[in-house]
Amino acid sequence: MKALRNFLDKVKPSFEEGGKFHAFRSVFDGFETFLFVPNTVAKRGSHIHDCIDSKRAMSIVVIALMPALLFGMYNVGFQHYLVHGEEASFWATFFYGFLAVLPKIVVSYLVGLGIEFTVAQWKGEEIQEGFLVSGMLIPLIVPVECPLWILAVATAFAVIFAKEVFGGTGYNIFNVALVTRAFLFFAYPAKMSGEKVWISQDTICGLGSNQALVDGFTGATPLGQAVSSTTITDAIGAGMSPMDMIIGLYPGSIGETSVIAIALGAIILLWTGIASWKIMISVFAGGILTACMFNAIGANEVMNLPWTEHIFLGGFCFGAVFMATDPVTSPRTECGKYIFGFLIGFIAIVVRCLNPGYPEGMMLAILLMNVFAALIDYCFVQANIKRRLNRVNK
Amino acid sequence: MELFSKKNKETFLTPLGLNNPVSVQVLGICSALAVTSKLEPALVMGLSVTIIVALANVVISLLRKTIPNRIRIIVQLVVVATLVTIVSQVLKAFAYDVSVQLSVYVGLIITNCILMGRLEAFAMQNGPWESFLDGVGSGLGYALILVIVGFFRELLGSGTLLNFRVIPECAYEYGYLNNGLMVLPPMALIIMACIIWYQRSKNPDLQEKNN
The amino acid at residue A136 is M
Alpha carbon of B205 to those of A66, B11, B19, B21, B105: distances in Å?
A: 49, 19, 11, 16, 33
A101-154 pLDDT, tens digit per residue, is: 999 999 999 999 999 888 888 877 777 777 888 999 999 999 988 899 999 999
Interface contact B45, partner A, CB < 8 A: no
Q: How many CB atoms lie within 10 A of CB A46?
A: 5
Q: How confident is the model at residue A212 (pLDDT cuts 50, 70, 90)?
A: confident
Q: Give the closest of A150, A165, A186 to B177, CB-based.
A: A150
Q: Give the closest residue to A80 by CA, choosing from A69, A70, A71, A92.
A: A92
Report yes or no: B173 at the A interface, CB cutoff 8 Å: no
Identify the CA nearest to A72 among candidates A209, A235, A221, A251: A251
3-state secondary structure of A207: strand
A191 touches chain B (CB under 8 A): yes
pLDDT digits (tens, 9 = 90+) for A367-384: 999 999 999 999 999 999
Indicate if the alpha-carbon torsion angle A265, A268, A273, A278 is positive or negative: positive
Is residue A235 a contact partner of residue A244, using CB atoms and an 8 Å limit? no
Structure confidence at residue B109 (pLDDT):
86
CB contact under 8 A, B181 and A190: no
Instruction: Specify the pLDDT at position A150.
Output: 92
A150 touches chain B (CB under 8 A): yes
Nearest to A186 among B180, B190, B197 (CB): B180
Convert the pLDDT of each residue in B158-173 to its tens digit: 888 888 888 888 888 8
Interface of B with A in 114-133 (CB under 8 A): none
Show which of residues 4-33 on chain B sit within 8 Å of chain A, judged by CB atoms.
none
Identify all chain A residues contacting B197, using CB atoms and an 8 Å cutoff: 165
Band the pLDDT of A84: cuts 50, 70, 90.
confident
Phi and psi at B125, nearest 5°, equal: -110, -15
CB-based contact A229:A218 (threshold 8 Å): no
Could you tell me which chain B residue has the CA closest to the CA of A154?
A: B179
- CA A305, distance to chain mean position in Å, is 25
Residue among A197, A196, A182 at smallest CA distance from A363? A182
B153 — pLDDT class (breaks 50, 70, 90): very high
Tell me: the pLDDT tens digits for A155-178? 999 999 998 888 888 888 999 999
Write down the ipTM of this complex. 0.84
Evaluate whether B46 touches B147 at the Cβ level (below 8 Å).
yes
Q: Distance between CA atoms of A347 and A363, rounded to whole angstroms? A: 10
Min Cα distance A147 → chain B (Å) is 8
| DSSP per-residue codes, A99-139 | HHHHHHHHHHHHHHHHHHHHHHHHHT-PPPSTHHHHHHHHH
Helix/strand/coil for B98: helix
CB-closest option in A147, A153, A189 to B175: A147
CA distance B11 to B131: 9
Backbone angle region of A241, left / alpha / beta, with phi > 0 → left and psi within -120 to 50 → alpha: beta
Rg (CA), chain A: 23
Residue of B172, B181, B192, B194 to mutate, interface with A, max A Cβ within 10 Å: B181
Q: Do A189 and B175 touch (CB under 8 A)?
A: no
Between A126 and B54, the higher pLDDT residue: B54
B194 touches chain A (CB under 8 A): no
CB of A92 within 8 Å of a chain B CB? The answer is: no
pTM exceeds 0.95, yes or no: no
